[in-house]
Structure 1
C-alpha cells in the first residue's frame, strides 16, 4: 500500500448532542494538544558541610527549556482560543475558526450538514450568536458560515500560508470535543501528504481529500472544524477525521488523526467568501462521470465512463462513453473511490497515462488532467 494513501475506516469528528462518543462516525481522526502546568520544588537546605550541591548546568538548562516551552504553550492558547467557536445546528455540534473581521467562519462541510442557520458561541464565552450558511464544498469537506451580527472585538485567526509542514512539529488542537468547549490537546505532525477517503455514512461527505496532515493530537467528535496550530500561533490545518481500528469495531485508533492543510482551507474559503461558491478547487479531474463496474466474483473491476465533460481532459485524450478506466499511471483503479484517491494527490495540468478497456482491447492514453 502506498504510504501516502490511507484506506480503511475513518470517522468524522462532528458530534451529535446527547449521543455517545461513536455518534457521527464516517472516516478518519482529529488532532489536539494540551498544556499542563509544571510545578517545581526546591529541596530544603541542609546546615553544615553536608549541604546538597547546587544543580549542575545541564539540569538548569533543562528546567529553563521546559519553562520556555510551557510559557509558549500558554501564550499560543491565549492568543488563538478567542478565534475558535462552537457551532450548533439542531442536535449537531462542531467547531469553527473565525476567518476574518467581517464575521466569516470556516469549518467542515460535515459540521454544517444540510443546515442553513446556526448558533455560534466563542470558545472564551459570551453571548450566543446566530449565523447563516454562505456555502459548503463537500468535495473537500469545507464550508463557510457568516455571523448575522459581528460583535465588537471579534478576533480572526492567522492562517499559515506555507505549503511546507515538517514532520515532528509540535501542534495543538483547539475545539469543542464532545461539547467540551475551549478544549486543547497536543501532539506532533506525524506525516504529511496523506490521501484519505471519508465515509458517507453517519454524516460524512464521502470526500476523498489529498495532501492531508496526519497528527498524533487527540481528535474526538466535536473537534471537527476547529484549529490545528503550531507554536507560532498560526493555523496549519482544520482537524477533520479520526482513524478507527476495524479490530476495535467503531473504536478510534489512538493517535491517528487528519487535518485539512491551511493552504487548501484558505484557497476554498477565499472563493466562497468572494463568489459564494468554489470556482477553482485546485484539484485534478479526469472530466468524466463514472460508475464502478464488477467483474468475476462480483468484485470491483474498474470505472465505466458514463459521460464525459465537453472539452474535458478525458474527451481531449480520446476516451469514450463505455470505456472502463483500470489504471492511473502505475496505480490500479477498481472503483470510483480508488479513482478519486489516484487523482487526489495530482495537480491540474499534470500529464498522466490512463489505462482503460474498450470492448476486448486494453488501451492507454496520455491525459492532461483538468480541474474538478
Structure 2
C-alpha cells in the first residue's frame, strides 16, 4: 500500500457528520412496458430513429455542461488537513479566506490547505468558528497566484429536481466530483455530537442525492451555472441498518446562510447577528411516567429574555411551540430553526399540574 492509500484509509472516520433518519419502508418497482409491441407500425421506425439520434446529442450536451462546471469550480475547492482530520473547503475571496464546516476545523487553529487541482500545501489559520450553524472561516497565510474565489448562488432560486454536483475530498480523494439532484429544500436537520459533531440544529438545508462521504464536508454543492448553492455538511444514516449510510440522502447548508456567517466572521472576527430565533432559556428534556420524552423543562429563563418577558420561569415544562409538539430539546431547536427573531408565537407549557399558554416574542441566538 503506498502512502496516499494509507492516508486515505486513516482519514475516513471523521469530518462528514452523519444523522439518523427514519426511512419509510417499502420498495417501488417500475415496469418498462412502453414500446413493447411485438410488431410496431412501419411509420414508427423513423420516429424511433430520430429519438435515438437525439439522445446521444442531449447526453453529450449534458456531459459538456458537467465538464464546464468542473473546470469553473473545482479550482475553488480545497482540501483542509488538520492534525487529526481531513475535510474540504471553498475559496471565498481573493484575500485567501476559505469557508468550511465548523466540525471540519474542530478545535484546531492551524491547517494545511491544498487546492483540489493539486499543487503545494499552504498554511492557514482559523479566523473564527460558529458551531451553532456548523460553519467556520480559515485564512491562508500566503495567497498563491491564481487563487480563484467561487461564485455563490441564490438559495431562494434552488428548486427540487435541479441537477447538482458535489465537489470535495471524500475519503481523502482530493478533487472528487459526484452528481445528483436537489431532492428537497427547507429541511431542518439536527447533527449529533458524537465523533466531533457540533450538535447544531440547522434550518433551510438543501437535501441532495449527490453522494456525500467523509471528507466531503465543507466542500461545494454546485449547480449547472457554476454557482455554489450550498456547503455539503451531513450524510444520513439508517438506524434500521445499524447506523450505516443511507445512500442518496445528504444535506448542504444553503449559500445564503454561508454568506451571512462568512461575511460577519471576515468583517468582525465573529458572528454578531445570527438571524436565528431563540427563547433565551437553558432547558433539558423531561420524561413522562412511561419514560418517554414529554417536553422541555426550563432550567433557567434568562432575565430580559424572550421566555422570561412572557412570564415563563424555571420549572415550567414547554410542550408546544405554535403548532409544533415539543418533546425534546432537539424538537424545540428544530421548531425555532424555522423561525426568525421577532416572530410572535404561542408557547404552551405546564406549571405544576396546570397547562398554560404565553405569547412570546422570540429573541436572537
Asked whether the two chains share a fold, i.e. TM above 0.5, the reply is yes
Contact 1:28 1:240 in 2 (8 A): no
**Which deviations, in whole Å up to 9, do the C-alpha atoms of 1:38-76 show, x marking residues without a partner?**
xxxxxxxxxxxxxx9999443333332222111110010
Q: 1:118 pairs with 106, 111, 130, which one? A: 111
**Which deviations, in whole Å up to 9, do the C-alpha atoms of 1:70-127 show, x marking residues without a partner?**
1110010001000000000012000000000000000000000000000000001111
Contact 2:104 2:217 in 1 (8 A): yes
Q: 1:78 pairs with 46, 49, 71, which one? A: 71
Aligned-pair CA distance for 1:21: 4.7
1:21–1:133 distance in 2 versus 1, CA, 3 Å = closer
Unaligned ranges ≥5, structure 1 = 1-15, 30-51
Q: Give 1:6-21 correspondences, 5 Å limit.
A: 18-19=9-10, 21=12
Mapped to 1, the partners of 2:207 and 2:330 lie a distance apart of 20
**Which shifted more, 234-243 or 345-354?**
345-354
Aligned-pair CA distance for 1:245: 1.0
Aligned-pair CA distance for 1:309: 2.7
Contact 2:11 2:86 in 1 (8 A): no
Aligned-pair CA distance for 1:20: 7.4
Q: 1:238 pairs with 231, 244, 253, which one? A: 231
Q: 2:187 pairs with 178, 194, 198, which one? A: 194
Mapped to 1, the partners of 2:202 and 2:18 lie a distance apart of 11
Aligned-pair CA distance for 1:300: 2.4
Contact 1:85 1:95 in 2 (8 A): yes
Q: Give 1:126-275 correspondences, 5 Å limit.
A: 126-275=119-268
Contact 1:293 1:303 in 2 (8 A): yes
Secondary structure of the residue that 1:178 maps to in structure 2? Answer: helix
**Which deviations, in whole Å up to 9, do the C-alpha atoms of 1:169-221 show, x marking residues without a partner?**
00000000000001000000001111111110011111111111110000100
Mapped to 2, the partners of 1:162 and 1:362 lie a distance apart of 40
Contact 2:281 2:307 in 1 (8 A): yes
Q: 2:82 pairs with 80, 89, 97, which one? A: 89
Mapped to 2, the partners of 1:293 and 1:53 lie a distance apart of 70
**Which deviations, in whole Å up to 9, do the C-alpha atoms of 1:335-370 show, x marking residues without a partner?**
211110111111222221110111211001111212
Contact 1:17 1:93 in 2 (8 A): no
Secondary structure of the residue that 2:195 maps to in structure 1? Answer: helix
Contact 1:136 1:144 in 2 (8 A): yes
Aligned to 1:40: none
Mapped to 2, the partners of 1:54 and 1:193 lie a distance apart of 42
Alpha carbon RMSD of aligned pairs, Å? 2.0
**Which shifted more, 347-356 or 297-306?**
297-306
| 2:281 paired with 1:288 | yes
Mapped to 1, the partners of 2:267 and 2:227 lie a distance apart of 23
Aligned to 1:27: 18
TM-score normalized with structure 1 length: 0.86
1:370–1:54 distance in 2 versus 1, CA, 3 Å = closer
By relative contact order (CA 8 Å, sep 6+), the higher-ranking structure is 1
Q: Give 1:40-59 correspondences, 5 Å limit.
A: 56-59=49-52
Contact 1:83 1:157 in 2 (8 A): yes
Contact 2:165 2:222 in 1 (8 A): yes
Contact 1:197 1:208 in 2 (8 A): yes
TM-score normalized with structure 2 length: 0.87
Mapped to 2, the partners of 1:54 and 1:249 lie a distance apart of 50
1:22–1:90 distance in 2 versus 1, CA, 3 Å = closer
Contact 2:9 2:171 in 1 (8 A): no
Contact 1:25 1:202 in 2 (8 A): no
Mapped to 1, the partners of 2:258 and 2:15 lie a distance apart of 22
Aligned-pair CA distance for 1:25: 6.9
